[in-house]
Chain A
Amino acid sequence: MCTVGGPVDIDIPPERVKGKDYRCNECGERFKGIGKKPICPSCQSDDISAA
């Protein structure tokens, strides 16, 4: 991911980044994950399921 911490000069065309929808089984957070090992952004759990 070619991005910059804080402000970023990246344009992510929605058709090229398709995050998968996940739900955290510990805190219930719903989020879009990318990569092979998504982690819940709220509680950092990897106990997640596809939503």
Chain B
Amino acid sequence: MKYPLEDGFLLIRGDHSFLLIGKAKDRFPLCIETSTEEFCQGVIPGDVIVVSAPEGGPVEPALMLMDLVRTYHVPLLVLPKDHPGSRRISRVVSVAPEVHTSCSITRGTHPEQHLVCSSDELFGLSIRGIPEGLDISGMPAGASLQTIRYRILMDSP
């Protein structure tokens, strides 16, 4: 099913988790920094950016994470396996022309660009960027959709 999306984001909510979906608006190199190497992925306008919060929680941090990647092109830093800090991270992001949700993978342990970790309730979604918005298949019956606009406002002194 096609969903129109311009500059905003699409929020797909389950009972206990959500996905925040946006589209890349710029062409940029997305760098992924491991402890030993750097990998750079080319992102082009229209690629899909999916932030997954498998345990739910507030949407604002997901919006901020989306903005860091989508607007500010921050590199992604990679913790080594079994790093003690990894258990505190509850949002993951995937950037690709098409992204599939999966709950059969261990969060943070797969490098495939077309997969993002999700909860059981949002498993099996396919999200593809198309010129008019998003093409999404496999939408769970109980999921709700909402379009979100987000902007940072700063007061001038």
Contacts and interface: CB of A to CB of B under 8 A. Distances in A.
A11 B108 contact: yes
Given A1-B111, A11-B78, A38-B40, A6 B68 contact: yes
A31 to B, nearest CB: 5
A34 B109 contact: no
Q: Is the interface of B mostly helix, strand, loop or mixed?
A: mixed
Interface residues of A, number: 30
A12 B74 contact: no
B12 interface: no
B41 interface: yes
B40 A11 contact: no
Interface of A: 1-14, 16-17, 19, 31-41, 44, 46
Interface of B: 27-29, 31-32, 34, 36-44, 52, 65, 68-69, 74, 76-81, 85-87, 89, 91-96, 105, 107-113, 115-117
